[in-house]
Amino acid sequence: MKSPLSLFLCVLLLLATGCMHKKHPPTTQEIAKQFAPPSLDDAMAVIDHRDDWTTLPELHVPRNPAEKFLKDMTIVLDPGHGGSENGATSTMKDESGKTVTLREADANFRVAKLLERLLKDAGANVILTRHGDDQMNLVDRAEVANNAKRVDGGTGADLFISIHHNSNTKNPSSNYTTIWYHGDADNAEVSIDAANCVAQELANQIHTTVAVTAPLMSDLLMYDSGFGVLRAAKMPCFLCECSFVTGATERQRLRDATYNLREAYGIYLGLCEYAYCGRPTQTLPEVTFGSEHVTISTTLSEGLPEWWGKERSRILASTVQVRFDGKPVPSDFDPKSKKLTAILPISSVDARLKNKPLVFELHFENMFKHHNYPQRFEITADPSGPKATVAALGPAPLSSTRPATAGTRGAATTQSAR
């Protein structure tokens, strides 16, 4: 039997916990109020009607649990166009019958501001290239990302995203999402990791169709030297063409900032997924000049949380590759210690006598098939001794990777729209 004092304490405790739990968080799905929960046939009937559900659902923007992996990531957002540069435009009647013009520059800016807020709420370090209806050239936009201060004190954003909307006056029913990476796929692995997640989530949120081909495209399809804004960025980057301003329904929707929020939310979800799958990296490789060979060694990192599970390697050993002069060289990877060593096919003497730095590449994937970054390194040998400095490089410049069969379309300049 309880004493009066313990009963009193129990009442106090109940009152206290009652107060604490007064505000219940919303559940993910309300539990059915019926006596019997809906049957499998009832659920099948919902699927029978799936084609009737063509309208966008009520707007909800819950936090994605994986947003925690975006914390401290430096992301530069670039709302395309601005100032006297409208981007694509579309003229229509508004609700009162007045003629209004939708500027792509404005829609891009609204999406970027809303995305900035979602990403900042997730703890990411977000920087915008323009803060109002300003005119900026393409190189200056990329320079914001190249010069961005990271949380770890370093310089250079982790990711650069240019936000645009597409246009097709010849076929106004076009409304698909495309994401553009720079150069060839082999040289844009990390950009594609992120772009792939964003393409799917963005299209899901705003119900654009999937184009005839895959939604990820190389900017070499548009210009011989790709998009100026991506070419000038020294980190993983991509350009979103979220939807088409020329579509009869889409251009009305794009005027609505809550619709722009759906776009921003889709990009946010894609970035959560990208971060969730990890951003593999490695220690800065060390170089040893032996009597005959140049040996490099580094420790790979899966880019995944160091929690229970890390005891088993989450790197796909079959994907580990070191390349020198574009060709794979023999390497040894120990999945337990995650140490990688490789021998470059060049003698120590030759390496030291070279007047220009040696460049080698390192590629691998974690179990989510996300690629490591950085992937290129430069060794500058000291001619007088067995010492060398190693520096990480950004993606290879286009000229060294472009196929000889590339098209002959004009080169993009800093004056181009993208």
How many residues interact with Zn ion (rule CB under 5 A)? Answer: 3
Q: Is the dihedral of CA 396, 401, 407, 410 positive or negative?
A: positive
Q: In the range 165-194, which residues lie near Zn ion by CB under 5 A?
A: none
Say how far apart CA 138 and CA 231 lie, in whole Å: 9
Figure out which of the listed residues 79, 82, 87, 280 binds Zn ion, where binding follows CB under 5 A.
87
Q: Choose one: 161-169, 216-224, 270-278, 392-400; the region binding Zn ion (CB under 5 A).
A: 161-169
Residue nearest to Zn ion (CB): 164
CB of 197: closest distance to Zn ion in angstroms? 22
Give me the half-sphere count of Cα atoms (radius 13 Å) on the Cβ side of residue 185.
8
Indicate the DSSP class of residue 176: B
Please identify which residue in 70, 75, 76, 80 interacts with Zn ion, judged by CB under 5 A.
80
| Rounded least distance, CB 165 to Zn ion, Å | 6
- Closer residue to Zn ion in complex, CB, 80/226: 80
When the beta carbons of 87 and 226 are compared against Zn ion, the nearer one is 87
In the bound complex, what is the minimum distance in angstroms from residue 243's beta carbon to Zn ion?
12
- In the complex with Zn ion, the residue whose CB is nearer, 217 or 340, is 217
- Indicate the residue among 122 and 202 with the shorter CB distance to Zn ion: 202
Told to check if 164 binds Zn ion by CB under 5 A, we report yes
Closer Cβ to Zn ion, 88 or 287, answer by number: 88
Nearest distance in Å: CB 413, Zn ion: 15
Nearest residue to 268 (alpha-carbon basis) of 56, 50, 112, 52:
112
Of 104 and 361, CB closest to Zn ion: 104
> Which CB sits closer to Zn ion, 81 or 262?
81
Residues 188 and 253: beta-carbon distance below 8 Å? no
Residues 6+ apart with CB under 8 A from 115: 77, 163, 264, 267, 268
| Nearest Cα to Cα of residue 241 among 181, 192, 172, 193 | 181
Encoded amino acid at 208, one letter: T
Q: How far is CA 151 from the centre of its chain?
A: 18
122 Cβ neighbours under 8 A, 6+ residues apart: 63, 67, 68, 70, 71, 268, 272
- Site stretch for Zn ion (CB under 5 A), options 80-88, 129-137, 244-252, 328-336: 80-88
Task: Note if the bond before 374 is cis, omega within 30 degrees.
Answer: yes
Cβ count near 218 (within 10 Å): 18
Per-residue binding letters, 221-260, with Zn ion (x by CB under 5 A): ----------------------------------------
- Which one of 83-91, 180-188, 213-221, 400-408 is the stretch in contact with Zn ion (CB under 5 A)? 83-91
Please give the structure tokens belonging to residue 206: 């705003």
Shortest distance in whole angstroms from residue 135 CB to Zn ion = 14
Query: Would you state the structure tokens that stand for residue 62, as one six-digit string?
Result: 């819950």
CB nearer to Zn ion: pick between 109 and 377 = 109
Tokens of 307: 């929690």
The site for Zn ion (CB under 5 A) is made up of 80, 87, 164
